[in-house]
Amino acid sequence: MNGNNGLPILPGATLGVLGGGQLGRMFVHAAQRMGYFTAVLDPDADSPAGRVSHHHIHTDYADVDGLARLAGLADAVTTEFENVPAPSLENLSVARPVAPDAGAIAIAQDRIAEKAHFTRCGVACAPYAVIETAAQLAAAPDVLLPGILKTARLGYDGKGQQRVSTRAELVDAWQAVGCVPCVLEKLLPLEFECSVIVARGRDGQLVHFPPQRNLHRDGILAVTEVHPQNMPKTVAQAAINSAKSIATGLDYVGVLCVEFFALADGSLVVNEMAPRPHNSGHYTMEACDVSQFELQVRTLAGLPLAAPRQHSPAIMLNLLGDLWFTAGGDKPVAPRWSEVLALPGVHLHLYGKIEPRRGRKMGHLTLTGATLESVRATASQAATVLGLPALSAADLA
């Protein structure tokens, strides 16, 4: 994305972001490190990104006056989450370059549109049916059961999803979500989950990080492991090719994460995409020579995209608010950070969220080292110290 008659937006300018969560905070830090000023629009007065930005516009994402203020401050605008109103991005794009654009965000907000886009790009999805009406519910093929009913909108971190084994369970699940538009996906025999992060510029230049192998617990990403042996090379290349095709098919500008299911038969199906940096890419801040957040800055500012290189094997452990309540009480207690930080190759990131809550993403640990074995050993030690579930051999590649 370019501004000023096609010229890059250089350091010293101001970059804006809709959304003040941890992804916005890390984007702000990356932009500031490169010499940019930053502006955040978020309705939370204590938002993690707003608290560290040069400017914080404290208002709703659809507030016309707030959007006008952001456009007046920022030379270009991005977003840190996909559920920002697409019309707000469209509004901003009249006055300022916006990346990713409203069209890409709108597709990512709707599983039905998203799956249609994957199909247009020639990327395989799990077998599914669209359920928007009672007639479509009744006509859903039996072969899709057992399956997962997912709401078409506002589903993330396992929210808006329910497993169903019978038609009676399917009917009950659809009624439980208020008969809103959904997709019914067939349950498939998974070998593992993985993701690929790509960055694409307005000129079509496209770079990518190595595929990440991911472990989810209760629908929330728990562990990411990245190294050359984390999955078969054929699966890794298929994931890279598919992510590139999805980004190109959108004429996408920005950082895009595409999540996949690797099946027991060696094939790969796409799960969903996130039009932004992603939890599974946090390791790039320590293990690569350019992070996903720096690439977000570069795509927004129209700067060249250097192909990232990973220089260390890495494991990322997600830190949820549950860790503050390990004693079983209601009063939060700080985890044992000193013991964790005494371990070699540990990088602690806390997101600046004031109140820990169970299930809330509070931070992450990245573990790096000279060898995969040493990184795995340190990750297991860190998990033990913090009271995280033990990392079994099945959890790791």
State pLDDT tens for residues 104-153. Answer: 999 999 999 999 999 999 999 999 999 999 999 999 999 999 999 999 99
Does 323 share its domain with 259? yes
- Report if residue 254 sits inside a domain: yes
Q: Is the pLDDT of residue 396 over 90?
A: no
Does 146 share its domain with 217? no
- Report if residue 226 sits inside a domain: yes
Q: Are 287 and 366 in contact (CB under 8 A)?
A: yes
82 is in an annotated binding site: no
Q: Is the pLDDT of residue 262 over 80?
A: yes
**Residues 212-219: what's their mean pLDDT?**
93
Does 83 share its domain with 204? no
279 is in an annotated binding site: no
Task: Look at residues 98, 117, 148 and tell me which one is the last residue of a structural domain.
Answer: 98
41 is in an annotated binding site: no
Does 212 share its domain with 358? yes
Does 148 share its domain with 223? no
- Report if residue 397 sits inside a domain: no
Q: Is the pLDDT of residue 185 over 90?
A: yes
160 is in an annotated binding site: yes
331 is in an annotated binding site: no
Does 228 share its domain with 307? yes
Instruction: State which residues form the domain around 222.
Output: 190-386
244 is in an annotated binding site: no
What is the per-residue pLDDT across 347-370, written as a single tens digit (0 to 9) for each? 999 999 999 999 999 999 999 999
Closest among 10, 66, 68, 16 to 38, alpha carbons compared: 16
**Residues 33-60: what's their mean pLDDT?**
97
Does 273 share its domain with 175? no
- Report if residue 239 sits inside a domain: yes
- Report if residue 248 sits inside a domain: yes
318 is in an annotated binding site: no
**Strand ranges (E), the chain:** 14-18, 37-41, 55-57, 76-79, 128-131, 147-151, 161-164, 182-186, 190-200, 206-208, 212-217, 220-226, 254-263, 268-274, 314-320, 346-350, 361-368
Does 300 share its domain with 250? yes
15 is in an annotated binding site: no
CATH code of the domain containing 92 = 3.40.50.20
pLDDT band at 329 (very low <50, low <70, confident <90, very high): confident
Does 181 share its domain with 195? no
pLDDT band at 393 (very low <50, low <70, confident <90, very high): low
Task: Look at residues 144, 164, 186 and tell me which one is the last residue of a structural domain.
Answer: 186
150 is in an annotated binding site: yes
- The mean predicted confidence, pLDDT, of the chain is 94
132 is in an annotated binding site: no
In terms of Cβ atoms closer than 10 Å to its own Cβ (0-12, 13-18, 19+), residue 308 is: buried
227 is in an annotated binding site: no
Does 164 share its domain with 195? no
Give the count of domains, the chain: 3
What is the per-residue pLDDT across 47-83, written as a single tens digit (0 to 9) for each? 999 999 999 999 999 999 999 999 999 999 999 998 8
pLDDT of residue 1: 38
329 is in an annotated binding site: no
Does 356 share its domain with 225? yes
- Report if residue 393 sits inside a domain: no
CATH code of the domain containing 364 = 3.30.470.20
Task: Look at residues 186, 221, 256 and tell me which one is the last residue of a structural domain.
Answer: 186
Does 235 share its domain with 361? yes
Element (H or E) spanning 292, and its range?
A: helix 292-301
CATH code of the domain containing 142 = 3.30.1490.20
161 is in an annotated binding site: yes
- Report if residue 396 sits inside a domain: no
**Residues 323-327: what's their mean pLDDT?**
84
What is the per-residue pLDDT across 275-319, written as a single tens digit (0 to 9) for each? 999 999 999 999 999 999 999 999 999 999 999 999 999 999 999
Closest among 129, 130, 113 to 121, alpha carbons compared: 113
- Report if residue 116 sits inside a domain: no
Quote the distance between the C-alpha of residue 23 and its chain's center. Answer: 9
